[in-house]
Copies of this chain bind each other. A is one copy, B any other.
Amino acid sequence: MKTIKEYSQLIDNALKDKQYGSYPKELYDPISYVMSLGGKRLRPLLVLMGNDLFGGDTEKAIHPAIAIELFHNFTLVHDDIMDKAPLRRNQSTVHKKWNENVAILSADAMMVKAYQELCKADFNFLPTLLDIFSDTALKVCEGQQLDMNYETQTKVSILNYLKMIELKTAVLLGGSLKIGAILGGASQTDSQTMYDFGKHVGIAFQLQDDILDVFGDSEKFGKQKGGDIISNKKTYLLLKALEMVEGNKYMKEELHLWINAPVFESSEKVEAVTNIYNFLNVRELANKEMEKQYAIGMSLLNSLHVADDKKKNIINFTDSLMVREV
């Protein structure tokens, strides 16, 4: 068993040495660029830790871990085009630094590279790994499409929202853990439990992101406070608030006024909508849902056929990602 820091180091080293190709430059430079922007490397870490939990050989899990990181970054490049996002990790997005065509095509090449990396895994595991990988990849596409649909859809239920974040972000954490577990020799039951553990913890992480965007220490998290409020992003908080103001004519009018305002002072809108959230107590409700999802994840982890002391590493890791002191 290695420490999280050692796993991080292994992933950073593997990524640092990686060559993606050289010609034509416009195809391969964006891949090196995106992969060098950093980030927490959460997904490859989960592959290695899932593998570790079942006593697998880290060396054999490193390529699938990199495959997942490549796939994740492929989705970011295409999502950024769709969202017209100018920045990613405080740097220009690929379609801004180059252009949209380069962003479409170089990310396509990244997806192929992801499969190539996955195919370096042990021959006997290949069909199973490919099956999980492709299945997860499709779910991520479904989640992204639902997210786009919800942008223009007036009513989105909390249930549909939870399903969307499950598909868009949580299943990839589940898939990462499952791939790691399988490479580590986990049984079918245990590897599926790992997937579900990752899925629920992933939903909790996304709910936390929703909460932190409004109530977090913006300096600490390096994001504009209330960015989701400003852009009317349909988060758990907004959807819950929209649901709750239905019975309150005055509050409903005020919330919709801010949502529909064509021009506004950002800080004023953030303050006003935050006040509505506070009045309705949606933060508590979101917290409750987040804790519930996290607890389901933890109980799944507990049910694994693995000695408890072996689980400490991954519990410490996921706990460290839950910021409860907001």
Chain A interface secondary structure, helix, strand, loop or mixed? helix
Among A140-148, A193-201, A254-262, A297-305, the one that faces the other chain is A140-148
**Cross-chain contact B146 with A134 (CB below 8 angstroms):** no
Which residues of A does B touch, CB under 8 Å?
21, 23-24, 26-27, 78, 81-82, 101-102, 104-106, 108-109, 111-113, 115-116, 119, 123, 126-127, 130-131, 134, 137-138, 141-142, 144-146, 148-149
10 extra interface residue pairs, beta carbon distance < 8 Å, beyond A26-B145, A27-B141, A81-B104: A21-B142, A78-B104, A82-B104, A101-B148, A102-B145, A105-B145, A106-B145, A108-B111, A108-B141, A126-B126
The distance in angstroms between the C-alpha atoms of A144 and B146, with both chains bound, is 30
What are 30 of the A-B contact pairs (CB < 8 Å)? A21-B138, A21-B142, A24-B145, A24-B146, A26-B149, A27-B145, A78-B105, A78-B108, A81-B101, A82-B101, A82-B105, A101-B148, A102-B145, A104-B104, A105-B145, A105-B148, A106-B141, A109-B138, A109-B141, A111-B111, A111-B112, A113-B138, A115-B115, A116-B134, A116-B138, A119-B127, A119-B130, A119-B134, A123-B127, A130-B130
How many of these chains are in the complex? 2
Cross-interface CB contact of A137 among B27, B101, B112, cutoff 8 Å? B112
Contacts of A101 in B (CB 8 A): 81-82, 148
